[in-house]
A and B are shown apart, each in its own frame.
Chain A
Amino acid sequence: GQQVMQIPQYQHVQEGEDFTTYCNSSTTLSNIQWYKQRPGGHPVFLIQLVKSGEVKKQKRLTFQFGEAKKNSSLHITATQTTDVGTYFCAGGTSYGKLTFGQGTILTVHP
């Protein structure tokens, strides 16, 4: 079945440093979604990418969808303590199935 791998599993950064998490799918995706889960909270939708090579920005967050639609990345510029949490990618197929990656747990040290 479809697998979505996400790396790294953990990332510790100093406040102000950049952060990137990567997502790779075993199959071609129709779309990729990203979610953020604060410690003790529930996942919250951040964005969806659907086009090959698509790049979207939300303030300090930059999301990319690979040309082959099998990989994606989330980059945070100049991390802040409010960025702490777990970031999940979720790959969608043409028949509507969504498979989540394992998540990257981000810790930001002030």
Chain B
Amino acid sequence: DAGITQSPRHKVTETGTPVTLRCHQTENHRYMYWYRQDPGHGLRLIHYSYGVKDTDKGEVSDGYSVSRSKTEDFLLTLESATSSQTSVYFCATESAGELFFGEGSRLTVL
């Protein structure tokens, strides 16, 4: 494994509350990604980062923001959680085109 840690691993929250998921890597990989996984949809890219303070939107970025203040940390924030954001969130880093995924964070929005 590429030393990717996600926190929290499980979270239950209420609609309208802000949520932040953290991804920490120890491999000094430049590229980092946030995906969500939902049945029937595979993995869909939310946001990605190509360096410190350099981020861009993926295909399902509405309602999400990200920040990368250090190479090793990539934060995903749900500004005001909705039930449609109930999902499993995976962070990934990239090296030589290969993605290395974290263990996932299961988020339930009630």
Query: Is B104 a contact of A42 with CB atoms below 8 Å?
Result: yes
Query: Which B residues lie within 8 Å of A43 (CB)?
Result: 43, 90, 99, 101
Interface size of B in residues (CB-CB distance below 8 Å)? 17
Interface size on A, residues (CB 8 A): 21
User: Which chain B residues border A100 with CB–CB below 8 Å?
Assistant: 35, 42-44
Q: Is the interface of B mostly helix, strand, loop or mixed?
A: strand
Q: How far is the CA of A9 from the CA of B91 in the complex (A)?
A: 24
Report whether A42 and B41 are in contact in the complex, using a CB–CB cutoff of 8 Å: no
Q: Nearest residue in B to A45 (C-beta to C-beta)?
A: B98
51-92 of chain B: CB within 8 A of chain A: 59, 90
Q: In this complex, what residue of B is CB-closest to A40?
A: B104
Q: Which partner residue on chain A sits nearest B100 by CB separation? A: A45
B4 and chain A: residue at smallest CB distance = A42
C-alpha spacing A99/B59, complex, angstroms: 9
CB distance from B59 to the nearest CB of A (A): 7
Question: Residue-by-residue, is A1-44 near B (CB-CB < 8 Å gives 1, otherwise 0)?
Answer: 10000100100000000000000000000010101000001111
Cross-chain contact A102 with B40 (CB below 8 angstroms): yes
Complex CA gap A102/B35 in Å reads: 13
Give the contacting residue for B101; candidates A1, A44, A101, A102; CB below 8 A.
A44
A-B contact pairs, 25 of them (CB 8 A): A6-B42, A9-B40, A33-B98, A35-B99, A41-B103, A42-B90, A42-B102, A42-B103, A43-B43, A43-B90, A44-B101, A45-B98, A45-B99, A48-B97, A88-B42, A98-B45, A98-B99, A99-B45, A100-B35, A100-B42, A100-B43, A101-B42, A102-B40, A102-B41, A102-B42
